Structure 1
Amino acid sequence: MKFSHSIQFNAVPDWSNNYISYSNLKKLIYQLEKHVNQTHGHTQDAESSPLLNGNAEDPDTVFRRALDLELEKICSFYQSKEREIYEDVGVLLRDEQVFEEDADGLEQDQGDGALRSTSAGAGRARSGSIFRSIGFSGRQRRASTMSASLDEPDEDGDSDDEDPDETEHLNKHRFSAGKERRRSEGAPASESRASRELSRFQRRASESRRLSQGIDDFNDQAFSALYDTGLTLKKRTVSLYVSLCELKSFIQLNKTGFSKALKKYDKILDRALKPVYMDQKVSPAYPFQQETMNTLQDNIKSVESAYADLVTKGDLSEAQRELRLHLREHVVWERNTVWREMIGIERKAQAANMGIGRSFLGGATDPVRARRQGDEAEDGGAKELSTPVGRVRCPRWLFSPSFFLLLAIIAVFVVLLIVPIMKKPEQQNCLAMLVFVSLLWATEVIPLFVTSLLIPFLIVVLRIVRSDEKPHHRLDPKSAAKYAFAAMWTPVIMLLLGGFAIAAALSKYQIAKKIATLVLSKAGTRPRTVLITNMFVAMVASMWISNVAAPVLCFSIIEPILRNLPADSNFTKALILGIALASNIGGAASPIASPQNIIALQNMTPQPSWGVWFFVALPVCIISILLIWLLLLVTFQPGKGTTIVPIRPMKDKFSGVQWFITAVTVGTIVLWCVSHQLEAVFGDMGVIAILPLVLFFGTGILTKEDFNNFLWTIIILAAGGLSLGRAVDSSGLLHTIAGAITAKVQGLSLYGVLVVFASLILVIATFISHTVAALIILPLIHQVGAGMKEPHPNLLVMGGALMCSAAMGLPTSGFPNMTAIMMEDSQTGQRYLRVFHFISRGIPSSIITLLIVISLGYGLMLAVGL
Structure 2
Amino acid sequence: MKFSHSIQFNAVPDWSSYYIAYSNLKKLIYTLEKKVVQSGAKANATDPERSALLSDNVDTDAVFRRALDAELEKITGFYEKKEDELLKEVQQLLKDVEEYEMSTAEFADPNPYKGRQLRSSASSGFERWGAGTDVGRTEDGDDSDDDDDGPDGGADGANDRLLRGGSQRSANPNMHASVLSEAPSDMTFRRRASLAYSEDGDPYMNVIYDKRITLKKRAISLFVALRELKSYSQLNRTGFSKALKKYDKILQRNLKVPYIENKVAPAYCFQESTIKYLDENINKITLMYANLVTGGDFEEAKKELRLHLREHVVWERNTVWRDMIGIERKANAAHMGPLVGSSVEKRRLHGDDPSTTVYTKQLWTPMGHCTVPIWLFSSSFFILATIGIVFSVLLKVNIFDTPEQNNCFAMLVFVSLLWATEVIPLFVTSLLIPFLVVLLRIVRADEKPHERLETKAATKYIFSAMWTPVIMLLLGGFAVAAALSKYGIAKRMATFVLSRAGTRPRTVLVTNMFVAMFASMWISNVAAPVLCFSIIQPLLRNLPANSPFSQALILGIALASNIGGMASPIASPQNIIALENMHPAPSWGAWFFISIPVCIISILLIWVLLLITFNPGKNTTIVPIRAVKDPFSAVEIYITAVTLVTIALWCASHSLEHVFGDMGVIAIIPLVAFFGTGILTKEDFNNFLWTIIILAAGGLSLGKAVNSSGLLHTIAGHIKVMVEGHSLYTVLVVFCLMILVIATFISHTVAALIILPIVMRVGAAMEEPHPNLLVMGAALMCSAAMGLPTSGFPNMTAIMMEDQQTGERYLSVKHFISRGVPSSVLAFGVVVTVGYGLMKVAGF
TM tier relative to shorter chain: 0.7 to 0.9
Tell me which residue corresponds to 2:750. 772
> Equivalents in 2 of 1:247, 1:414: separation in Å?
67
Letter in 1 for 2:98: Q
Residues 488, 720 of structure 1: 8 Å contact kept? yes
> Equivalents in 2 of 1:421, 1:218: separation in Å?
91
Tell me which residue corresponds to 1:13. 13
Residues 535, 579 of structure 1: 8 Å contact kept? yes
1:621 aligned onto 2:622: no
> Equivalents in 2 of 1:257, 1:769: separation in Å?
43
1:410 aligned onto 2:388: yes
> Equivalents in 1 of 2:256, 2:728: separation in Å?
66
> Equivalents in 1 of 2:840, 2:363: separation in Å?
65
> Equivalents in 1 of 2:319, 2:704: separation in Å?
54
Greater helix percent: which structure?
Answer: 1
Counterpart mapping for 1:708-787 below 5 A? 708-787=686-765
Pick closer, same or farther for the CA change 1:400–1:111 going to 2, 3 Å. same
SS in 2 for 1:680: helix
Give the CA deviation at 1:792: 0.2
- 1:121-176 deviations in whole A, cap 9, x for unaligned? xxx974355453579xxxxxxxxxxxxxxxxxxxxxxxxxxxxxxxxxxxxxxxxx
> Equivalents in 2 of 1:435, 1:217: separation in Å?
78
Counterpart mapping for 1:290-439 below 5 A? 290-346=272-328, 351=332, 365=335, 367-368=337-338, 375=346, 380-439=358-417
Letter in 2 for 1:66: A
1:87 aligned onto 2:88: yes
- 1:603-648 deviations in whole A, cap 9, x for unaligned? 0001000000000000000000000000000000000110000111
Pick closer, same or farther for the CA change 1:371–1:129 going to 2, 3 Å. farther
SS in 2 for 1:393: strand
Residues 808, 843 of structure 1: 8 Å contact kept? yes
> Equivalents in 2 of 1:293, 1:79: separation in Å?
12
1:132 aligned onto 2:157: yes
Letter in 1 for 2:438: V
- 1:782-837 deviations in whole A, cap 9, x for unaligned? 01101111000000000000000000000000000000000001121100000000
> Equivalents in 1 of 2:341, 2:43: separation in Å?
46
Give the CA deviation at 1:428: 1.0
Pick closer, same or farther for the CA change 1:366–1:42 going to 2, 3 Å. farther
- 1:821-858 deviations in whole A, cap 9, x for unaligned? 00001121100000000000000000000000000000
> Equivalents in 2 of 1:475, 1:125: separation in Å?
93
Residues 521, 648 of structure 1: 8 Å contact kept? yes
Give the CA deviation at 1:107: 2.4
> Equivalents in 1 of 2:285, 2:374: separation in Å?
58
Tell me which residue corresponds to 1:192. none
Give the CA deviation at 1:466: 1.1
Letter in 2 for 1:259: S
Give the CA deviation at 1:109: 7.2
Residues 125, 131 of structure 1: 8 Å contact kept? no
Pick closer, same or farther for the CA change 1:38–1:610 going to 2, 3 Å. same
Tell me which residue corresponds to 2:639. 661
Pick closer, same or farther for the CA change 1:770–1:109 going to 2, 3 Å. closer
SS in 2 for 1:383: strand
> Equivalents in 2 of 1:34, 1:622: separation in Å?
34
Residues 810, 838 of structure 1: 8 Å contact kept? yes
Over the matched positions of the two proteins, sequence identity in percent amounts to: 68
Pick closer, same or farther for the CA change 1:369–1:127 going to 2, 3 Å. same
> Equivalents in 2 of 1:257, 1:341: separation in Å?
24
Which of 418, 425, 431 is matched with 1:447 structurally?
425
Residues 131, 222 of structure 1: 8 Å contact kept? no
Letter in 2 for 1:380: V
Tell me which residue corresponds to 1:69. 70
> Equivalents in 2 of 1:318, 1:403: separation in Å?
59
SS in 2 for 1:639: coil
Tell me which residue corresponds to 1:361. none
Contiguous gaps of at least 5 residues in structure 1: 46-54, 115-123, 136-215, 353-363
Number of residues paired by the alignment? 757
> Equivalents in 1 of 2:825, 2:670: separation in Å?
37
> Equivalents in 2 of 1:127, 1:218: separation in Å?
25
> Equivalents in 2 of 1:577, 1:339: separation in Å?
36
> Equivalents in 2 of 1:313, 1:104: separation in Å?
16
1:862 aligned onto 2:835: no
> Equivalents in 1 of 2:419, 2:337: separation in Å?
31
SS in 1 for 2:372: strand
Counterpart mapping for 1:555-594 below 5 A? 555-594=533-572
> Equivalents in 1 of 2:668, 2:819: separation in Å?
41
Letter in 1 for 2:369: R
Which of 475, 498, 514 is matched with 1:536 structurally?
514
Pick closer, same or farther for the CA change 1:821–1:778 going to 2, 3 Å. same
Tell me which residue corresponds to 1:206. none
Tell me which residue corresponds to 2:584. 606
Give the CA deviation at 1:457: 1.1
> Equivalents in 1 of 2:811, 2:347: separation in Å?
33
- 1:345-373 deviations in whole A, cap 9, x for unaligned? 24655x58xxxxxxxxxxx9465569999
Residues 501, 507 of structure 2: 8 Å contact kept? yes
> Equivalents in 2 of 1:553, 1:326: separation in Å?
42
Counterpart mapping for 1:621-660 below 5 A? 621-660=599-638
Which of 210, 224, 231 is matched with 1:228 structurally?
210
Pick closer, same or farther for the CA change 1:583–1:370 going to 2, 3 Å. farther
Tell me which residue corresponds to 2:22. 22
> Equivalents in 2 of 1:536, 1:707: separation in Å?
29
Tell me which residue corresponds to 1:802. 780
> Equivalents in 2 of 1:232, 1:695: separation in Å?
57
Residues 98, 128 of structure 1: 8 Å contact kept? no
Tell me which residue corresponds to 1:686. 664
> Equivalents in 2 of 1:218, 1:714: separation in Å?
70
Residues 650, 663 of structure 2: 8 Å contact kept? yes
Pick closer, same or farther for the CA change 1:227–1:30 going to 2, 3 Å. same
Pick closer, same or farther for the CA change 1:376–1:788 going to 2, 3 Å. farther
Tell me which residue corresponds to 2:173. none
> Equivalents in 2 of 1:444, 1:567: separation in Å?
35
Letter in 2 for 1:242: V
> Equivalents in 2 of 1:371, 1:564: separation in Å?
47
Tell me which residue corresponds to 1:39. 39
- 1:375-395 deviations in whole A, cap 9, x for unaligned? 578651221112222210111
- 1:445-482 deviations in whole A, cap 9, x for unaligned? 11111111111111111111111111111111111111
TM-score, L = length of structure 2: 0.87
TM-score, L = length of structure 1: 0.85
Tell me which residue corresponds to 1:155. none
> Equivalents in 2 of 1:524, 1:423: separation in Å?
66
Tell me which residue corresponds to 2:105. 104
Letter in 2 for 1:80: K
> Equivalents in 1 of 2:628, 2:583: separation in Å?
44
> Equivalents in 2 of 1:113, 1:797: separation in Å?
95
Pick closer, same or farther for the CA change 1:230–1:44 going to 2, 3 Å. farther
SS in 2 for 1:127: coil
Tell me which residue corresponds to 1:853. 831
1:826 aligned onto 2:804: yes
Residues 159, 211 of structure 2: 8 Å contact kept? no
> Equivalents in 1 of 2:749, 2:234: separation in Å?
49
Counterpart mapping for 1:154-233 below 5 A? 220-233=202-215
> Equivalents in 2 of 1:469, 1:810: separation in Å?
45
Which of 681, 684, 689 is matched with 1:703 structurally?
681
Residues 543, 593 of structure 1: 8 Å contact kept? yes
Which of 442, 455, 462 is matched with 1:484 structurally?
462
SS in 1 for 2:659: coil
Residues 99, 130 of structure 1: 8 Å contact kept? no
SS in 2 for 1:632: helix
> Equivalents in 2 of 1:300, 1:374: separation in Å?
54
Moved more, 757-766 or 326-335: 326-335
Pick closer, same or farther for the CA change 1:348–1:555 going to 2, 3 Å. farther
Moved more, 225-234 or 459-468: 459-468
Residues 38, 44 of structure 1: 8 Å contact kept? no
Give the CA deviation at 1:698: 0.7
> Equivalents in 2 of 1:493, 1:691: separation in Å?
15
1:517 aligned onto 2:542: no
